[in-house]
């Protein structure tokens, strides 16, 4: 009886492992072949991503989920991609801000240049769906 239980358990384990692996492969295939979502060749995307990666931005912000501050996708959805908004949001990165997204203030980043802050904002706007 023990042999049957062990054999059945192993069979169930093998079936569970094999089934989910196949689903991953089929789910991943459309993502790999979709070129419209591939931003890696966009210079605004790569520069902004690099600058954000080197900064402390990810301490308070995430791409898709609210952390301490809004997600980058929430920011992109809220503002139209205009030169005026790029300049305004770059100023908020440099000077900090409070009140638009709640009572928690955004820390000022005076060491960030205006050009770098604008590149970060352009990256964020590219995340808009």
Q: Does 71 lie in the same domain as 13?
A: no
Name the residue with higher pLDDT: 96 or 34.
96
Q: Are 76 and 62 in contact (CB under 8 A)?
A: no
Q: Does 47 lie in the same domain as 21?
A: no
d(CA 55, CA 73) in angstroms, rounded, equals 18
Q: Does 56 lie in the same domain as 7?
A: no
| Residue 36 confidence (pLDDT) | 53
Handedness of CA 69, 70, 73, 77 (dihedral sign): negative
Query: What pLDDT, in 10s, does the model give residues 8-34?
Result: 444 444 444 444 343 333 333 333 333
Name the residue with higher pLDDT: 27 or 36.
36
What CATH number has the domain bearing residue 100? Answer: 1.10.760.10
Confidence of residue 38 (pLDDT cuts 50, 70, 90): confident
Q: In the chain, how many domains are there?
A: 2
Query: What pLDDT, in 10s, does the model give residues 51-90?
Result: 999 999 999 999 999 999 999 999 999 999 999 999 999 9
d(CA 33, CA 29) in angstroms, rounded, equals 6
Q: Does 96 lie in the same domain as 56?
A: yes
Handedness of CA 73, 74, 80, 85 (dihedral sign): negative
d(CA 57, CA 110) in angstroms, rounded, equals 13
16 lies in which domain range?
A: 1-31
Burial code (b: 16+ CB inside 10 Å, e: under 16) for 78-116 equals: ebeeeeeebeebbebbbeebeeebeeeebeebeebeeeb
pTM of the model: 0.69
Handedness of CA 92, 96, 98, 101 (dihedral sign): positive
């Amino acid at each position: 009886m023990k042999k049957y239980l062990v054999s059945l358990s192993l069979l169930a384990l093998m079936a569970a492992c094999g089934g989910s692996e196949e689903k991953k492969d089929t789910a991943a295939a459309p993502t790999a072949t979709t070129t419209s979502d591939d931003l890696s060749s966009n210079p605004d995307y790569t520069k902004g991503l690099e600058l954000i990666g080197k900064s402390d931005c990810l301490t308070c912000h995430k791409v898709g989920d609210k952390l301490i501050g809004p997600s980058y996708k929430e920011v992109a959805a809220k503002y139209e991609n205009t030169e005026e908004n790029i300049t305004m949001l770059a100023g908020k990165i440099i000077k900090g801000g409070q009140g638009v997204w709640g009572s928690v203030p955004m820390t000022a980043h005076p060491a960030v240049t205006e050009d770098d802050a604008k590149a970060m904002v352009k990256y964020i706007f590219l995340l808009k769906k």
